[in-house]
Amino acid sequence: MYGAALMLGLAGSAHAAPAKDKPPTIASLSADLLHAPNAATTTAILAAMDSLRRAHTDAATTLLLNRATRDLGAQKSDDAIADLTDAMALQPDLTILRRDRAGAQIAAGHYDAAITDLGVYLQAEPGDPQGWATLTEAEMARHDERAAFAAWQRVLALAPQMAAGQKHLNDLRTKAFGRPT
């Protein structure tokens, strides 16, 4: 659903314009996200949030992230996982690397490992809708539709204008609980 390149935050570099003279923070962008008028603005704000989360990525970690992205593009998910694990060893304080590795683990079919990484990540970054979206994807892959539904509810609580958000929620509700009578 959400491509591995998007999960690695390397697919685009759109930034939401700061509403004030102060530079944006994760907290201010999270507030903006709640009031985003449409999916395009939501996407731009999410990209800006990821840029802030990656702001202190050092050069060696960036090289490993780029290699992981190439590995995923070449369908070498296990190699991408290894690259991301190495990146995490270099910068254990860069929590977004856990979300990145979870995306690679989903691509490799390692759903339980992805959920473990997302659990650690979401403890550190509970306000990241993309983390919850990745958890939704992992839970769907494990065929736990109720957990996927609950995770997607968190996505929409944090980013009400997420692209196709309500349609996806309705689809997940149907898969989790059946058709309403």
Spans of all domains in the chain: 26-55+127-181, 57-110
In Å, how far are 10, 54, 68, 72, 88 from 62, measured between CA atoms? 10, 9, 10, 15, 11
What is the per-residue pLDDT across 97-149, written as a single tens digit (0 to 9) for each? 999 999 999 999 999 999 999 999 999 999 999 999 999 999 999 999 999 99
Tell me the whole-structure pTM to 2 decimals.
Answer: 0.87
For 77, residues 6+ apart whose C-beta sits below 8 A from its C-beta are 71, 104, 105, 107, 108, 109
- CATH of region 26-55+127-181: 1.25.40
Question: pLDDT, tens digit, for every residue of 35-58?
Answer: 999 999 999 999 999 999 999 999
Residues 6+ apart with CB under 8 A from 82: none
Residue carrying structure tokens 């060893």: 89
